[in-house]
Structure 1
Amino acid sequence: MKKAINIRLNESLLGDLDSYAHELDRTRTYLIEKSIAAYFDTLDEMISDQRIDEVKQGSVEVFSLEQVAQRLGIS
């Protein structure tokens, strides 16, 4: 199920979006959905980098596979 949202875009960005939509014979919505989905990969990398930094700084506790198995009672 799709839900409607409202966004504000810079006029030049909207112009580019419309140009791409026209050239590709796609809707604005289609291009925005594809762009967001593609950007999720970048966000995943950013979060991974943040987690690595937290581990390096010692601000999070890290458990080995053996420790997790032991806590869960898995041999």
Structure 2
Amino acid sequence: MKQAINIRLEKDVVQSLDEYAQELDKTRTSLVEKAIDMYFDTLDEMVADKRIDNLKSGKSTLVSMEDVFKKAGIDV
């Protein structure tokens, strides 16, 4: 199910969006959805890098799978 949101974009961004949409015979919505979906890959990398940095700096720690299973009462 789609959900409507409102965003504000610079006029030149909207103009480029409209030009691409027309050239590709797509809607603004489909292009924005695709762009956001592709950007999620970048965000995943940023989150992973942050988590690695937190591990290296000691801000977070790793818990072994064995410990997780043990706390969950699962015999491995």
Same fold (TM over 0.5): yes
Counterpart-to-counterpart distance in 2, 1:55 and 1:61: 6
| Structure 1 residue ranges without an equivalent (≥5) | none
Q: What TM-score, normalized to structure 2?
A: 0.90
* Deviation (angstroms), 1:71: 1.6
Consecutive aligned runs of 4 or more in structure 1 exceeding 2 Å deviation: none
Q: What TM-score, normalized to structure 1?
A: 0.91
Counterpart-to-counterpart distance in 1, 2:48 and 2:62: 14
Counterpart-to-counterpart distance in 1, 2:4 and 2:72: 43
Counterpart-to-counterpart distance in 2, 1:26 and 1:58: 47
* Deviation (angstroms), 1:13: 0.9
1:33 corresponding residue in structure 2: 33
2:53 corresponding residue in structure 1: 53
Letter in 2 for 1:19: E
Identity %: 55
